[in-house]
Amino acid sequence: MMEEKDKYGKELDLAVRIVHMACSLCQKVQQRLVSTASEQVLAKDDDSPVTIADWGVQATVSWLLSEFLEGQNVSIVAEEDVQTLSKSDAANLLAAVVNTVNECLAEAPKYGLQCPKKALGTSKILEAISLCNSNGGPTGRHWVLDPIDGTLGFVRGDQYAVALALIEEGKLVLGVLGCPNYPMEKELLNYNHQRLQTVPTSPTPSDIWEKGCVMYAKRGSGQAWMQPLIHGDTKFEWPNSARLIQVSPVDDPSLATFCEPVEKANSNQLFTAGLANSMGIKKQPMRVHSMVKYAAIARGDAEVFIKFARSGYKEKIWDHAAGVVIVEEAGGVVTDAGGIPLDFSRGLYLEGLDRGIIACSGPTLHNKIIGAVYASWDSSNL
């Protein structure tokens, strides 16, 4: 285990344990979603689905961070609020969230953390969710949480991620990314994806390819790590189960695989397709929900992640923070389309973003893509 004297060692240790717990919560809720009616799925104001897992993870992470970083003024930037849960017709949903959180927290000792002395009541759960109301910014320390990134993927039994990062004085300092449906071994990726698409049954924890993984990195270490999720009564061990990951050495566009979002609503797939074609990228894009795209780059399953949002769409920091630091520490490069590193110091959004986001396995490929963007931009319809 990292020495406590190492800067951010304590925070990284805690964050990894918390994300493992959050992934366990998500897996249990997802099993229920694919086997029961979908009354647990609601529509948020932007019409994206949200489930008890979103609120459950946010409450769990908020409570654990506040409890184990006692004495610190814990600031958390996160996506959900309690407006929907507080409505009079949401009593059953709120009860389900409370039960889910307490079920998760009861397993804290398995992860080397203490559970509450007694079950948390409704008011404590709502308070924990409401505490995640920070706007971040250039000063102080801010945890950045996306309780479920890729909720559509989650609801469909496909890829999603639990993302937790730490920003200090406007700079990313650590990131943890839990990917419950992303198998440890690359060769099992397509098989796992096809199975999830065609047989929406409860996961079988004994299948190693189905365990999923957690990736994490600390700024300046030059290392990124991956470990399997645990199941059943298996005791959490860290870092014994972790292994180093690195980006792909491929720098020839014709051999590269690129990722992009599944949804067309917040990404211009026509432009990225044209860009890929102009560079000689021959493989079909790997379209995947959530920050799993960053995970794919970090461990060498793909070489490029391109995202050019449609006009009016603002990138939120929780959709990128954890993934960016992991990719960069694994040897990759992440910038906007102008080649400028992403700025996480300006609040909830990646303000000042030049056109889009480009994550690559290395500087050679990255420079080629930046050049292609400039060559293609004027002729595009963006």
The response to whether 146 counts as a known ligand-binding position is yes
Asked whether 157 and 195 are in contact (CB, 8 A), the reply is no
Q: Tell me how far the alpha carbon of residue 374 is from its chain's centroid.
A: 29
- Catalytic residue ranges: 54, 151
As to burial, measured by CB atoms within 10 angstroms (0-12 exposed, 13-18 middle, 19+ buried), residue 279 is buried
317 touches 144 (CB < 8 A)? yes
318: phi then psi, degrees, rounded to nearest 5: -75, -15
| 125 labeled binding residue | no
Q: What is the pLDDT of residue 203?
A: 43
Q: What pLDDT score was predicted for residue 349? A: 95
**Mean pLDDT of the residues in the chain:** 85
Reported for 201-206, long-range contacts at CB under 8 A and 24+ positions apart, including other chains, are: 201/34, 201/35, 202/31, 202/34, 202/35, 203/27, 203/31, 205/231, 205/232
Q: How confident is the model at residue 199 (pLDDT cuts 50, 70, 90)?
A: very low
Give pTM, 2 decimals: 0.89
Strand partners, 226: 215, 243
Weakest mean pLDDT among 134-143, 236-245, 332-341: 236-245
Burial class (CB in 10 A: 0-12, 13-18, 19+), 152: middle
Give CA–CA dist 151/157, Å, rounded.
10
Residue 378 labeled ligand binder: no
Closest by CA position to 200, among listed 39, 25, 36, 52: 36
Q: How confident is the model at residue 191 (pLDDT cuts 50, 70, 90)?
A: very low
Q: What's the confidence (pLDDT) of residue 33?
A: 73
The confidence score (pLDDT) of residue 208 equals 45
Q: Is 90 exceeded by the pLDDT of residue 292?
A: yes
Mean pLDDT in residue range 154-171: 93
**Range with the poorest average pLDDT among 14-28, 220-234, 340-354:** 220-234
In this structure, the strands spanning 357-360 and 304-307 are: antiparallel
State yes or no: pLDDT of 201 exceeds 50.
no
pLDDT of residue 376: 75
What pLDDT is recorded for position 307?
86
Position 232 confidence tier, pLDDT thresholds 50, 70, 90: low
* Confidence bin at 135 (pLDDT 50/70/90): very high
**263 annotated as a binding-site residue:** no
Closest CA to 322 of 228, 222, 238, 216: 216
- CA–CA separation, 27 vs 20, rounded Å? 11
Q: Are strands 42-43 and 141-149 parallel, antiparallel or unpaired?
A: unpaired
Q: Decide which of 101 and 70 is more confident.
A: 101
pLDDT at 373: 85
**Could you give the CA distance from residue 349 to residue 353 in angstroms, rounded to a whole number?**
9
Looking from the CA of 331 toward its CB, the CA atoms found within 13 Å total 17
**In which band, very low, low, confident or very high, does the pLDDT at 40 lie, cut at 50, 70 and 90?**
low
Is there a binding annotation on residue 148? Answer: yes
Given a contact cutoff of 8 angstroms between Cβ atoms, the answer to whether 44 and 50 are in contact is: yes
Report the pLDDT averaged over residues 124-131: 95
The lowest-confidence range among 129-138, 227-236, 253-262, 352-361 is: 227-236
Average of per-residue pLDDT across 309-333 = 93
CA 30 to chain centroid: 16
Q: Which domains does the chain have, with CATH numbers?
A: 9-244 (3.30.540.10), 253-377 (3.40.190.80)
For residue 175, give the nearest of 184, 186, 162, 185 by alpha carbon: 162
